Amino acid sequence: MNPDLLILSATLFEISHFLTLFPGDSKQLTRTGLTIITGKVGRKTYDLVITGPGVFNAAHAVTVYLEKKTPSLALMTGIAGIFRQTRGHIGDVAIATEERYIHTGIQTDGLGNDPLPFDLIDAKPLTRKGIYPFEQERVDHIHDILSRSALSNSVSIFKGPFITVSSIPSCVETADQRYTAFSPVMEAMEGAAWAHIAARYDIPVIEVRSASNYVGERDRSKWDIELAAKQLGWVCAAI
């Protein structure tokens, strides 16, 4: 049976507070160890796939799932690093207007690459630079839902571009360079891969993340992964 919502999370912990609120009805493991949890929120059904971290695990997991089911919408979610230039804070929530895998393209003198000479997905030329735009009307709709929710009184709700990386910056200087090149709100390690595979199967997507740390912050004692995970419980329930 196809669910109303496919929820994608890299790790179980990131989505654990949602599962505390709405425990799944069943759980299965695939041959490659993917966890798929099925449940309901009110009248709406969901499948939750724990994809594993990084672009390769993310692409594998979504492909395995979408070969068998066709959800009405995919919610890509998890914790992320937020850029200080946004004036956002740890625990704030952001909705992606687009995803970008920054390592795609032809290398230039700067961080921003020139486009490849071919589409990575036919008739989607932005994929030549690893860019996956999201439907603006859907982004605005989700932003409206979250902005009207009770928790929005204590956190900021952002909209803006996200970037996907395969290396986490370990200093403020690298973070600043990435912000200068791409002007993102958040960065994480799976979003563009999830978006790429969803586009191949023509599945509509939305990405919402909560900030666990500032990009480039090396001191893990200043991160708040628990707070970010709690915010995601509220986010998923609201959507």
Q: What is the pLDDT of residues 102-126, one digit of tens each?
A: 999 999 998 899 999 999 999 999 9
Instruction: Report whether 130 contacts 105 (CB < 8 A).
Output: yes
What local confidence, expressed as pLDDT, does residue 184 receive? 98
Q: Which CATH number fits domain 5-238: 3.30.1860.10, 3.40.50.1100, 3.40.50.1580, 3.40.50.2300?
A: 3.40.50.1580
pLDDT band at 168; cut points 50, 70, 90: confident
**DSSP-assigned beta bridge partners for residue 26:** 38
> Does residue 152 surpass a pLDDT of 70?
no
> Does residue 34 surpass a pLDDT of 90?
yes
Q: Per-residue pLDDT averaged across 32-56, rounded?
A: 95
C-alpha span between 166 and 20 (Å, rounded): 30
pLDDT band at 218; cut points 50, 70, 90: confident
Q: Per-residue pLDDT averaged across 87-114, rounded?
A: 95
What local confidence, expressed as pLDDT, does residue 151 receive? 67
Over its C-alpha atoms, the chain yields an Rg (Å, rounded) of 17
C-alpha span between 194 and 49 (Å, rounded): 11
What local confidence, expressed as pLDDT, does residue 167 receive? 87
CA angle 203, 206, 212 (to 5 degrees): 140
The residue whose two tokens read 């709690």 is 230
C-alpha span between 83 and 207 (Å, rounded): 17
Q: Quick count: other Cβ atoms within 10 Å of Cβ 87?
A: 10
C-alpha span between 17 and 20 (Å, rounded): 5
Mean pLDDT over the full length of the chain: 95
Domain residue ranges in the chain: 5-238
